[in-house]
């Protein structure tokens, strides 16, 4: 695997999307000026956080692509556990500590027939970076939780190790929040209350009234 370091870049995901490589590549940045989250949301990426994107070649079959998201989420949780931080997963891949978001994950796949030809896993983890006032009520960092700074290179090394582990659906399920609880399901047209019955192995969410949703169709609160 090739590793590339940046003092500053617009987006590590965008860099890897335009990179022609015959091997896996890890792009790490001290800060990003155009970090992105899911659904086009901006992700504030000030210095002090861990910002990286991992390009994986031919990681799995197309029908198993949820495993990439699942594995990435568990890798972040395991990394935080290594520093005594009790993180959990909010379906499908937001990482929370005490109800506040500490990490965002953006996955972009390129398909070729029945295979995922390339997968870019982008991760932004709040470590020592200061949080903007407008997100203090919904976001947190390792510095806030532990009341001390961690070494970003050490956190990065731990995360990279975990990203290459093979976690299963049971690992993912073990760390999920809200299963069996009532949540607000938000669609493009409405919002309503429902109980989560389970997350299915393909990544879809099933409610107790029998409805099944993909992560692209809804969000939950």
User: pLDDT tens for residues 125-157?
Assistant: 999 998 888 888 999 999 999 999 999 999 999
State the DSSP H helix or E strand holding residue 76, giving kind and residue range, or none if neither: helix 66-82
Residue 86 to residue 51: CA distance in whole angstroms: 20
Of 51, 201, 69, 42, the residue nearest 129 (C-alpha): 51
138 alpha carbon, distance to own chain's centre = 16
* Mean pLDDT within 9-13: 93
Q: What is the pLDDT of residues 68-99, one digit of tens each?
A: 999 999 999 999 999 999 999 999 999 999 99
Global pTM reads 0.92
pLDDT for 17 equals 94
Distance CA(80)–CA(86), nearest Å, equals 7
The pLDDT value recorded for residue 43 is 58
HEC profile for 135-188? Answer: HCCCECCHHHHHCCCCCHHHHHHHHHHHHCCCCCHHHHHHCECCCCCEEEEECC
- Of 120, 128, 105, 129, give the one whose Cα is nearest residue 44: 129
**Mean pLDDT of all residues in 177-182:** 95
Neighbours of 81 (CB within 10 A): 14
Cα Dmax for the chain:
50
User: How does pLDDT run across 21-72, given as a tens digit for each residue?
Assistant: 999 999 999 988 876 655 445 556 778 999 999 999 988 999 999 999 999 9
pLDDT for 47 equals 84
Given a contact cutoff of 8 angstroms between Cβ atoms, the answer to whether 174 and 161 are in contact is no
CA angle (145, 50, 150) in 5-degree steps: 45
Answer for the pair 34, 11: CB distance below 8 angstroms, yes or no: yes
Return the higher-pLDDT residue of 34 and 117: 117
- CA dist 8 and 204 (Å) reads 36
| Higher-scoring residue by pLDDT: 217, 3 | 3
Residue 37: predicted pLDDT: 56
Residues 6+ apart with CB under 8 A from 208: 194, 195, 196, 197
pLDDT-derived band at 183 (thresholds 50, 70, 90) equals very high
The pLDDT, as a whole number, for residue 57 is 93
The pLDDT, as a whole number, for residue 4 is: 97
Q: At 221, is the pLDDT very low, low, confident or very high (cuts 50, 70, 90)?
A: confident
| pLDDT band at residue 159 using 50, 70 and 90 as cut-offs | very high
């Amino acid at each position: 695997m090739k590793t590339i370091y940046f003092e500053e870049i617009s987006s590590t995901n965008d860099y890897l999307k335009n990179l022609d490589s015959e091997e896996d590549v890890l792009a790490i940045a001290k800060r990003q000026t155009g970090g992105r989250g899911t659904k086009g949301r901006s992700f504030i990426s000030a210095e002090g956080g861990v910002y990286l994107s991992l390009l994986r070649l031919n990681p799995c079959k197309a029908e198993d692509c949820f495993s990439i998201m699942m594995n990435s989420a568990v890798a972040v949780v395991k990394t935080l556990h290594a520093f005594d931080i009790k993180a959990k997963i909010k379906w499908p891949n937001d990482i929370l500590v005490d109800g506040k978001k500490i990490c965002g994950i953006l996955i972009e796949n390129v398909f070729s027939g029945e295979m995922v030809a390339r997968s870019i896993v982008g991760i932004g983890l709040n470590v020592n970076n200061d949080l903007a006032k407008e997100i203090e009520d919904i976001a947190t960092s390792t510095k806030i939780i532990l009341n001390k700074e961690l070494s970003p290179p050490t956190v990065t090394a731990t995360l990279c190790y975990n990203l290459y582990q093979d976690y299963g659906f049971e690992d993912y399920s073990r760390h999920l929040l809200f299963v069996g609880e009532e949540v607000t399901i938000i669609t493009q047209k409405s919002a309503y209350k429902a109980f989560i019955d389970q997350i299915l192995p393909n990544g879809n969410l099933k409610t107790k009234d029998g409805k099944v949703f993909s992560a692209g169709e809804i969000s939950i609160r």
